């Protein structure tokens, strides 16, 4: 077996984010977006996290999401008018603002125009779709993107010719993603997940460009040798020792431009800037921020299993910057006594 060549190894920084959801409707091959439901608490799906779906063998990465509130207005009548009352968001309610009379057979454009005529709603804050006479789907966006909206209040003005009811429901609550965009696209060869298939979200992932650098780790044990009248007698194990890690990586920029999609390595190690929403890999929220280091080695020769080495809860203790070589040397420790090593096909 040849020595490891780092060009055949992928080194990643991974944070502690995790969540689950479920597929809502069966997707088709080629899809790069997915309707989801039952997102676990706290109901957040972060950009850049990876996920797997039961029924598919691929790993996907979240590139976008829609967490806008969607309300559905259904009127059961054949004649007459109704109004809709808007009272703002759950976090910041306002005094009710009521639309002008809306004819029951109105198009989606008419309903949208009446909502946009309210003082608290400007063009771009709502998108109304649906056929004439409804039901109408109202998506809150713009000022009200990704927030929980108080349910619109439907009021019967002079409806007739049916049950004379206005029912407003919330198919998708604001602030909880109900649709995600991702890469790569679903492929039949990887398996197409079914409706209600479980989605498992894992941490934000950043691949480290080692360049001409290296990554080393040391596992140590403390052994205490007992003497009996000056002669070696017995041995016992001393205190546990954390795994020590040294990593030399390419330094392109110290920090990413504000609003960029990808943080730098230092951003990820320091939980700042673009990586400010990264979560610690440590299960203890009182401990200092940490990330997992993952090394995936895929031998170039056929028939040899890949190896996945995980160094959990890494915290850097020094970062040495070399301007001439454009390289940073990071030294630190992991809160474990040994790495986790897995062999797989």
Within 8 A by CB and 6+ apart from 285, the residues are none
Q: Supply the pLDDT for residue 124.
A: 95
Q: What digits encode the pLDDT tens for the residues 1-30?
A: 456 667 778 899 999 999 999 999 888 889
pLDDT at 188: 82
Q: What percent of the chain has pLDDT over 90?
A: 68
pLDDT tens for each residue of 269-316: 999 998 998 999 999 999 999 999 999 888 877 777 888 999 999 999
Across the range 184-191, mean pLDDT stands at 85
C-alpha span between 210 and 126 (Å, rounded)? 47
Predicted pLDDT at 3:
61
| More confident: 214 or 8 | 214
**Buried b or exposed e, range 185-214, using 16+ CB within 10 angstroms:** ebeeebebbeeebebebbbbbbebebeebe
Q: Which of 141-145, 169-173, 206-210 has the lowest mean pLDDT?
A: 206-210
Please say if the pLDDT value at position 327 is more than 60.
yes
Q: What is the pLDDT of residue 44?
A: 80
DSSP 3-state of 265: helix
The model's pLDDT over 226-268, given as tens digits with 9 standing for 90+, comes to 999 999 999 999 999 999 999 998 888 888 888 777 899 999 9
What average pLDDT does the segment 214-224 reach? 94
Please tell me the predicted confidence (pLDDT) of residue 314: 97
Task: Identify whether the C-beta of residue 208 lies closer than 8 Å to the C-beta of residue 291.
Answer: no
Largest distance between two CA atoms of the chain: 106
pLDDT of residue 208: 86
Closest CA to 332 of 274, 252, 270: 270
Q: Is 281 helix (H, G, I), strand (E, B) or coil?
A: coil
The pLDDT of residue 320 is above 50? yes
- 119-142 core/surface letters (b: 16 or more CB in 10 A; e: else): eebeeebbebebeeebbbbbbbee
The answer on pLDDT for 156 being more than 70 is yes
Residue 209: predicted pLDDT: 79
Choose between 173 and 260: higher pLDDT: 173
Distance CA 59, CA 182 (A): 10
Report the distance separating Cα 341 and Cα 326, nearest Å.
Answer: 31
Of 187 and 224, more confident: 224
When the pLDDT of each residue in the chain is averaged and rounded to a whole number, the result is 91
Predicted pLDDT at 345: 67
Structure letter (DSSP) for residue 123: T
57 confidence band (pLDDT: 50, 70, 90): confident
pTM above 0.85, yes or no: no
Average pLDDT over every residue of 133-160: 96
Please state the separation of Cα 236 from the chain's center in Å: 46
């Amino acid at each position: 077996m040849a020595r490891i060549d780092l060009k055949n190894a992928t080194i990643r920084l991974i944070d502690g984010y995790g969540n689950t959801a479920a597929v809502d409707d069966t997707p088709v091959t080629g899809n790069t977006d997915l309707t989801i439901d039952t997102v676990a608490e706290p109901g957040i799906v972060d950009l850049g996290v990876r996920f797997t779906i039961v029924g598919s063998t691929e790993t996907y990465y979240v590139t976008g999401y829609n967490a806008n509130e969607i309300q559905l207005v259904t009127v059961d009548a054949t004649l007459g008018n109704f109004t809709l009352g808007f009272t703002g968001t759950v976090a910041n309610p306002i005094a009710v603002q009521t639309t002008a009379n809306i004819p029951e057979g109105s198009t989606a454009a008419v309903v949208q125009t009446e909502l946009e005529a309210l003082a608290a709603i400007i063009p771009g804050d709502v998108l109304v779709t649906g056929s004439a006479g409804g039901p109408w789907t109202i998506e809150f966006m713009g000022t009200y993107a990704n927030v929980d909206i108080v349910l619109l209040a439907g009021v019967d003005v002079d409806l007739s010719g049916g049950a004379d009811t206005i029912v407003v429901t919330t198919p998708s609550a604001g602030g909880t993603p109900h649709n995600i965009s991702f890469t790569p696209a679903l492929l039949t060869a990887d398996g197409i997940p079914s409706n209600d298939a479980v989605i498992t979200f894992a941490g934000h992932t950043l691949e480290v460009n080692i360049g001409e650098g290296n990554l080393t780790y040391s596992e140590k044990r403390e052994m205490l040798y007992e003497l009996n009248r000056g002669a070696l007698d017995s041995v016992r194990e001393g205190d546990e020792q954390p795994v020590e890690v040294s990593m030399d990586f390419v330094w392109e920029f110290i920090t990413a431009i504000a609003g960029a999609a990808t943080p730098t390595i230092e951003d990820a190690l320091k939980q700042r800037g673009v990586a400010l929403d990264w979560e610690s890999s440590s299960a203890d929220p009182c401990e200092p921020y940490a990330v997992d280091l993952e090394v995936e080695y895929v031998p170039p020769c056929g028939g040899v299993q890949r190896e996945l080495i995980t160094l959990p809860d890494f915290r850097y203790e020094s970062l040495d910057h070399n301007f001439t070589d454009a390289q940073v040397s990071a030294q630190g420790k992991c809160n474990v006594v040994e790495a986790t090593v897995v062999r797989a096909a």
